[in-house]
Structure 1
């Protein structure tokens, strides 16, 4: 096997191992992108070695920090892990998302389903592939990820995008009762001090609520908030206008 092959190291030898990787390993990695396997089960390892003989399999004794360190030393790399090694990463001191954000990661799953895709996405993996997929698919996945794209079914990414848009829309509409009051008054061209006086709160509190509701409704300034209020609370303003225009009832003495 060209490259580092099966890299071993345990106990006190781990630190010297990383030093030796730097001295002897990098010079032998001549590809633009290095493929690395870490913490793989025997089954996953067989699949990877068969499909990607150029992959460098790291010993299971190496912890997440050492794997990340190795990938950093060799430059652009794609790290292949399986569900067992991903679960182990989540149990270590270094959070899996932080670990996986350092390199591009492909997750091998025993069976790919919605749960496994979701787990891979939340962990920051660039792709997920079933362990029994043809060798050609594994090579295609590595090539796609190496080009900066994701390797997930289109339906999974579409569903993720729809949920993201929907949740953002719902979040924007979930104003508190106080934020709704302030936004309606902004739509009536009320200044901060006038709003504070009407609601019996401080002007600083009004400003704090404004910053929060700007973020929720997706506007950047008071003018945009005013336009948003007019668009969404038109019925409220019409009712207020009708109430003000109606003649006052005579007061009985």
Structure 2
């Protein structure tokens, strides 16, 4: 059973989402929060498997709450899935850096919502590679790119040649099978390398590895995956 916490300051949104989730046999809404502070407190109390998090909320927005939940040892097993609107796209990069495992638009249909919850719960990245690249390309300005590249080299240990190859291909949007074919190794070996990369880069999922690939300078906005 996937226990879900819904964090949204609009009661109607919470009720609609709860109704959709509770129709599924393998998931259940364990609690509801109307603010970032309440979401953090309820996570500490109930330890949900996943938080469906709005961004704009009073008393601690969704980005703040995501960062607090991800960094709280009592919530170590909890994943955060941002539920936002198209107009709030400018916050998505910051939310991913805060530790969110992905995002959905509030125009998402019920089937996609529940499938996305399952995907994030099993440890997969919700974001498609193309969507991730588009977001990063939009918000990584030349100035911030140069700054973050320098910061990356200071805060992370040196990667092996193979890890560098795989991080580059993850950043370009290739999935495990495509990376395995490109490097003539097994998908299981790719998965092992990716798990090690997550540990070295101190990130929680594949979406954040894509961002690390950009910040390291291994991938640049607009780069062709076939390059």
Using structure 1 for the length normalisation, give the TM-score. 0.44
Using structure 2 for the length normalisation, give the TM-score. 0.48
